[in-house]
Chains A and B, each alone.
Chain A
Amino acid sequence: MSLKIDHKKLIMRIPGTGNFITLDNEKCTLCGRCLIICVMNLWKKSDDRVHLVDDYASHCLECGACYQVCESGAIDFRYPAGGTGIVYAKG
């Protein structure tokens, strides 16, 4: 029997408040890089418009990949408040 892993269940986090990722649709070129790169699939595209899922802050692993690949500068990323967010116990 082959083992299939649901990686989204293998994370631990401390809830926080406040936005730490923002998208400026005016700057977005719909290149689709953020959709490919996010390992948690937090970016979606519908009707030729990219958006970040509403509850991204309870899933984001804070890698910053979306910010890094967005060369048009549409995505801004800052870390969530100190002491909140992803916790890696076995990193």
Chain B
Amino acid sequence: MENYDVIVVGAGPGGSIAARESAKKGLKTIFFERGRKPGEKNSSGCGLGPRMWRDFDFMTELTPEDCPSLRPGAAARNYLVNNDGEVSGYLMTKPTDSVTYEPARSWITMNCYRSEFDPWLAKYATDAGAVLKTSTLVTGLLKENGKVSGVIDEKGNKYSGLVIGADGAISMVARESGLRQRWEQEQVTIVPQYDFECPPSKIDDVMGDEALAVWWSATFPAAYQVFFNDGFHIGLGNWMTWWEKNPMHYLNQVVALKYFQRQIRILEAKPREFQVHLLPWQGQPHDTHADNVILIGDAGGFPCPLEAEGIYPAMVTARAAIETAVEAISAADVSKEFLNLYDAKWRATSVGEEFKTGPELASIWKALPFSPLKTMSWFVPMLMEIIGGIFDWSEPHAVRVRQIARRVKQYLPNAIPFIMREVIPLLTAILGEENMNLLTDPEKLIAAMPELEEAIARSFVENDMEEK
């Protein structure tokens, strides 16, 4: 038996930050990685957000020498794929004037491969004095009188200490501690992705300062594309039981888009690697700790409820977990009751702030990009009418405006319930009920909608002749 204060299962970003913070507090710390090195088992979109630089001071030391794949980008592109499986338009966006944090005005994400980033991060933990054991699978939890006292590895070696579960979506620590056998099917997604290689100069010339793209679609769940120095990821995800066909069917649909094929040719891109992983994606983390056990990052279900960013929440919850561990160890009380402190601590972070509107954020995502047939099939053409309909020389522009308005009206029976069920609750959660009532009373709006629809219908009815 080896005795430690803190045992961290997993050496991803969460595990490494936990190990680092723990060692820095003077706690005897060990962390485990089942791969030959950290980052070897991970697949990820891997866009690092500017707030990581604000919240973790060592991030400023990250250079292209450490991570050759590093590529910052300021812009995001949103492709809109219609019901015929064609790109019917796209919108490129950059940080807006309301962004207050300066670095975030220059770049929205710093992208790099996990195989480079995770080892770089783990070194901060080992430099702080934590012991890293690689190529070692932790297979179970040690128990004394029914309570978790440590872990056991595949060779039968035993380690005692407080256990931090940083072992991802399918967490052994969660299973063995009785916190969770598996997720509910709508709390986790499966995400297959391709990595393409292409010349850095091509990415710079063709994509400019674009960091990422989202392919919003009526025929597949929203796909994401992330650009690295010499390649890019294209992937998509959806809840486990929301796939009518194999996930590959939909990912290959993205790749087969004429527009995407053209991009591949221009970028001289070649498929390099295929990856898949499970990604927890839920409105509210729960069952985050047990006696002598704390779950962080993906293992605890902490990816962002809106877009499932996982690295930053893993690092933030790691820090909250170690602050909790320090207090628990010094009080000689690692009971579940004492560790309730962990929930209070992560809720006080920016991750906790994100989850204040978690259920509403997760719900709108579920209803929109993850419901291609139900929602995107009217959302994409409606949006394209509005942003794309004016530049057209088929009729006088006033006639076009009326044609567009009539067409948009057809989408209202879909759009209005969506706004009522998804957008209003989200705004209410963000602004607070009192402020929301000042802005608009949902009940009054619902009551007024039939009249509004009727008014729109009447105002255009006399021009129906314009429809050919």
Q: Is B241 touching A33 in the complex (CB atoms < 8 A)?
A: yes
A36-B245, A64-B278 given; A83·B135 CB < 8 A: yes
Q: Which residues of B contact A (CB under 8 A)?
A: 33-36, 39-44, 46, 69, 113-115, 134-137, 139, 153-154, 169-170, 172, 181-183, 185, 188, 190, 192, 194-195, 197, 228, 231, 240-241, 243, 245-248, 252, 255-256, 261, 264, 271-278
Known: A65-B276, A91-B46. 10 other contacts (CB 8 A): A3-B264, A5-B274, A36-B245, A38-B246, A39-B248, A68-B188, A82-B134, A87-B36, A89-B273, A91-B44
CB neighbours (8 Å) of A37 from chain B are 190, 240, 243, 246-247
Q: Is A7 touching B43 in the complex (CB atoms < 8 A)?
A: no
Q: Which residues of A contact B (CB under 8 A)?
A: 2-5, 7-8, 10-12, 14, 33, 36-39, 41, 61-65, 67-69, 71, 73, 77-83, 85-91
**A83, B154: Cα distance in complex, Å:** 11
Q: Is B241 touching A69 in the complex (CB atoms < 8 A)?
A: yes
Q: Is B274 touching A7 in the complex (CB atoms < 8 A)?
A: yes
Residue of A nearest to B133 (CB): A82
**A67, B114: Cα distance in complex, Å:** 25
Residue of A nearest to B69 (CB): A90
**A36, B192: Cα distance in complex, Å:** 13
Q: Is A7 touching B248 in the complex (CB atoms < 8 A)?
A: yes
CB neighbours (8 Å) of B113 from chain A are 89-91
Interface residue from B136, B190, B245 paired with A82 (Cβ < 8 Å): B136
Q: Is B170 touching A90 in the complex (CB atoms < 8 A)?
A: no
Q: Is A62 touching B41 in the complex (CB atoms < 8 A)?
A: yes
**A51, B99: Cα distance in complex, Å:** 53
Residue of B nearest to A70 (CB): B182
Q: Is A64 touching B40 in the complex (CB atoms < 8 A)?
A: no
CB neighbours (8 Å) of B275 from chain A are 61, 88, 90-91
**A73, B182: Cα distance in complex, Å:** 10
Q: Is A11 touching B274 in the complex (CB atoms < 8 A)?
A: yes
A39-B247, A67-B170, A68-B278 given; A90·B115 CB < 8 A: yes
**A37, B188: Cα distance in complex, Å:** 13
Choose among A10, A38, A82 the residue with the greatest number of B CB atoms under 10 Å from its CB: A82
Residue of B nearest to A10 (CB): B274
**A80, B39: Cα distance in complex, Å:** 16
A-B residue pairs in contact (CB < 8 Å), sample of 7: A69-B240, A71-B185, A85-B41, A86-B41, A87-B36, A90-B231, A91-B42
CB neighbours (8 Å) of A12 from chain B are 273
Choose among A36, A68, A85 the residue with the greatest number of B CB atoms under 10 Å from its CB: A68
Interface residue from A4, A73, A77, A83 paired with B36 (Cβ < 8 Å): A83
Shortest distance from the beta carbon of B346 to any chain A beta carbon, whole Å: 24
**A69, B247: Cα distance in complex, Å:** 14
Interface residue from B39, B170, B195 paired with A64 (Cβ < 8 Å): B170
Residue of B nearest to A91 (CB): B43
Q: Is B190 touching A63 in the complex (CB atoms < 8 A)?
A: yes
Interface residue from B40, B272, B277 paired with A10 (Cβ < 8 Å): B272
Choose among B135, B182, B264 the residue with the greatest number of A CB atoms under 10 Å from its CB: B182
CB neighbours (8 Å) of A79 from chain B are 34, 137, 172
